[in-house]
Every structure is written in structure tokens, then in C-alpha cells.
Amino acid sequence: MKLKIWQAGEAVLRQRARALSADEIRSASIQDLIQWMRETMYDAPGVGLAAPQVGESIQLAVIEDRAEWIDKLPATQAEERERRPVRFHVLINPRLSTEGDETAEFFEGCLSVAGLTGIVCRARRVRVECLNERAEPVTIAAHGWYARILQHEIDHLNGTLYVDRMQTRSLCTTENHARYWKDQSIAGFWREMGA
């Protein structure tokens, strides 16, 4: 079943989501929600989807970055973004910490902020402690684009959208991004914008 993706302006996207108990995680209703979120993420298409984006104020997100999506990028972009395939997995009740001081700026979009994109500075390396869909503890060490996805989705669970973190001068429509900036480096974008 494909779920409705809620858009900016909905209160659920601005609230801190509640944690799930182990019994809730194993329940049929949460297992069904995970499957529906997966189908919705694929259909959108997106690389991550948090429960608040489908109207559920719970600490749950699904992530997958498929090889076929990365293969459509120019090799230089995939390398610059440190983008590698990430298998499907579930994050529940995540706790994120950054590792090191290195950051990277790239355009981000969001299924709940349709039609817009902006440059967001994020940590290059993160560590996430969470539960999986079986309520088992998991620790994830990630870098590059995967670290960005994790930060973006965990932000959703805390009521934060990428527009809260973006460089406001970089905001543009996805149409104009595709027309003018998708093949440009971030440094090139800033040069063109006079920043």
C-alpha cells in the first residue's frame, strides 16, 4: 500500500516523534507500516522516509540507496558525494552522534518539501545507535552520502526539516536545479551566485 506523503505545514512534521517499545516494534501494525513505508519510498522515489512524513509521530525511518539510482549519476558526482549503495534497513529510536569535524555541502531535497532543493552543510561521518525492525540493537558507522541520509531522516524524527539547516541563498526549485545546477559543483554554484 502506498501512503500519502505529508507536506511542510503539517504539525506532525514539526513535532518530536515518540519512541517505540520492543513490543510495539514487533506488532503487526508496525511491521505493516514498515512495508508500506518501503513501498511509498520506492514509488516516490526517495532514499529515505521517516514515519512523520506519512503522518505517524513515531521514531521510525526506512532507508535504501539503490545502485541503479547512483549509476544514473555522472561518476564525478557519485565520487564527490561519496555515494555508495545502501541496502534497505530500518531505524527505530535512533541516537546520532557526529564523528570528527569534517563537513560537506550538497543540495538536498525532501519528499515533504516537494519541488524545492537547497544546500545543506552536514557532518561527513556519523554513528547511529538504534533498533532494527526486530527490536534488536544496531550500531551504524556511516560516511559521505549515507551519513547525510541518516542525518536527514533522523532530523525528521526530531521535527526538523532540511530547510531549517540549508543555506537560504541556495533555495531553488527542483526544475531550476536540474536546468542550471545539477552538473555544477557546489563551489561553482557559489561562484555563480556571487557568494
Which residues are catalytically annotated? 153
Q: How many other C-beta atoms are found inside a 10 Å radius of the C-beta of residue 158?
A: 15
How far separated are the first and last CA of the chain, in Å rounded? Answer: 45
Residue 82: φ, ψ to 5°:
55, 50
How does DSSP classify residue 18? B
Structural element, H or E, at residue 188: helix 186-192
Size of the chain in residues:
195
8 Å CB contact between 45 and 73 = no
- The CA-atom distances, in angstroms, between 13 and each of 30, 119, 137, 159, 181 are 19, 20, 26, 5, 28
- 86-98: strand order across its sheet: 48-50, 60-65, 86-98, 125-131, 137-143
**Measuring CA to CA, which residue among 145, 98, 97 is closest to residue 120?**
145
